Amino acid sequence: MRTVLKGMRAVFDGYILRKGVDVAVEFGKIVEINEDLKGDEYVILEDKVLYPAFVDAHTHLIYAGNRVFELEMRLSGASYLEILKRGGGILSTVEATVKASDDELIDATLRRIRVLQSKGVGVVEIKTGYGISYEQEVRLLRLIHEVAVKADVVVVPTLLFHVPPRDMDVEEYLKEFFERYDEYADLIKFVDVFADEGAYGPKETEMILSFYRGKGVPCRLHADEFSPFASHLAAKYGCVSADHLIHTTEEGVKALAEAGVMATLCPITGFFLREGFAPYGMMKEHGLRVALSSDHNPGTAPFLNPFLTVLLAVFGYGMLPNEAFSAHTAAAADSLLLKNLGRIEPGARALMFAMDYTPNELVYWGKVDAPVQPVRF
C-alpha cells in the first residue's frame, strides 16, 4: 500500500524547507519525496508544514520527585555545584528515585514522554543516573526497557555515570560495573559520564571511556557544562557526542571538530541555570556539527517542550530557525546513530508531524504552544 501525503505548504526534510513536494510512504517507510506523486491512497494535509518527528538525544527522563525547592535557593545566589556539594541537587533526586516503586517510576516517565510526544517528539534517549549503586542503576536500565515497550516513541537507553557514590570508593564502584558488564550489556546502547567539577574527575572518566570503548559501546560525555574540563577527553576517546559545552574553549571546539565528535547542545539548561549559552558561532566556524536536545531533568532543565529548545537556540546561540530544527531532528538522530530517523527522505521511517508554521514563522511568533498533528505509519 502506497500512501501519498499531499497539499502541504512545505516539507521540512530534516535539513531544508522544500515547497511543492508530496511525500510517499510504503509499509512505514518514506519511499519518495517529489512533485505530483501518485499512490493507492492520499492523505491531504492542506496548508500544513510537514516535519520529521523531533529527536531528543539527551534526557534524564526517569526519576522521582522534583526540585522546585531548589529554585529560590539558586536564584538567591547558591550555585548548582554548591547545592550538589552540600548533598542536595542530583543526590536528593537519587534519594527520591531509590525510594520510588518500579510502577511509580514507569508512570512518571511515561507521563513526561507523553508531554514531549504531544509536541512532536518521536525519539527519546533516556539516561540512568539517579541510582548510584550497581543494583539501582541496572534497575533503572530495566525500567527504561519497560518504558520502551509501553511508550509510543522510540527509546534509546544510556548508562550514565552521573556522580560518584558518597559511601564507597569510586574505583570499587566502577570495578563492579566493569566486572559485571555481561549482565547488562544488552540493556545499553550508549555510556555517558558527567565529567565536571563535583562529578567525575578526568582519571575516572578516562577509566570509564577506555573500558566501554574497548567493549565497542559508543560513548557520549557531559562535557564543559560548568567548567572547561572534558571536551578533550571526548575527542581523545572518539565519543559520538560531547554535550552541553556551555563553558568550552576554542581548543576544545577544535579538538572535537577534528575528532569528528558531534556537539549536543541543551539551551534550556544554560537558560534555566543562568549559566549562559554555548559558543555556537565558534562551533560553526570550526565545522563542529551541532545537535539540540532537551536535557530534561529535575535539576537543570525541567521544561518539556522542543519548541522552547528551538526558540532558545535561535535567540541564545544565534542559530537560524532552519538550523535549529535540523539540529533537533536529523543531527540529533545522527548523534544517536539512528540514520533512518529525524528526516523525511527515502528509506527513513515515516515518523512525522504536521503543524501550521514554518521554522521562521514558529520562532517569529514564539509559538511554543503550536498544535501538532502526528503523521505516522
Q: Give yes or no for a contact between 162 and 90, defined as CB atoms under 8 angstroms apart.
A: yes
Residue 181 vs 303, nearer CB to ligand NIG: 303
How many Cβ atoms are within 10 Å of 27's Cβ, its own excluded? Answer: 10
How does DSSP assign 22-84, residue by residue? EEEEETTEEEEEESS---SEEEE-TT-EEEEPEEE--------S--HHHHHHHHTT--HHHHH
Is residue 334 at the binding interface for ligand NIG, with CB under 6 A as the rule? no
| Binder of residue 299, out of ligand NIG, Fe ion, none (CB less than 5 to 8 A by kind) | ligand NIG
Among 131, 298, 306, 342, binds ligand NIG (CB under 6 A): 298
Smallest gap, in angstroms, from Cβ of residue 183 to Fe ion? 25
Is residue 198 at the binding interface for ligand NIG, with CB under 6 A as the rule? no
Residue 194 vs 237, nearer CB to ligand NIG: 194
Rounded to whole angstroms, how far apart are CA atoms 377 and 364? Answer: 31
Is residue 263 at the binding interface for ligand NIG, with CB under 6 A as the rule? no
Candidate ranges 24-32, 178-186, 297-305, 361-369; the one touching ligand NIG (CB under 6 A)? 297-305
| Binder of residue 22, out of Fe ion, ligand NIG, none (CB less than 5 to 8 A by kind) | none
The residue to which cell 547558591 is assigned: 78
User: Which helix (DSSP H) or strand (DSSP E) does residue 214 occupy?
Assistant: helix 202-214
Rounded to whole angstroms, how far apart are CA atoms 339 and 352? Answer: 15
Among 8, 90, 240, 245, binds ligand NIG (CB under 6 A): 90
Smallest gap, in angstroms, from Cβ of residue 83 to ligand NIG? 9
Is residue 225 at the binding interface for ligand NIG, with CB under 6 A as the rule? yes
Q: Please state the φ and ψ torsions of residue 28, each to the nearest 5 degrees.
A: 80, 5
User: Which helix (DSSP H) or strand (DSSP E) does residue 157 occupy?
Assistant: strand 154-161
Residue 22 vs 196, nearer CB to ligand NIG: 196
Query: Which residues are near Fe ion by CB under 5 A?
Result: 295
| Grid cell listed for 115 | 508531554
Give the binding site for ligand NIG (CB under 6 A): 60, 89-90, 93, 194, 222, 225, 269, 295, 297-300
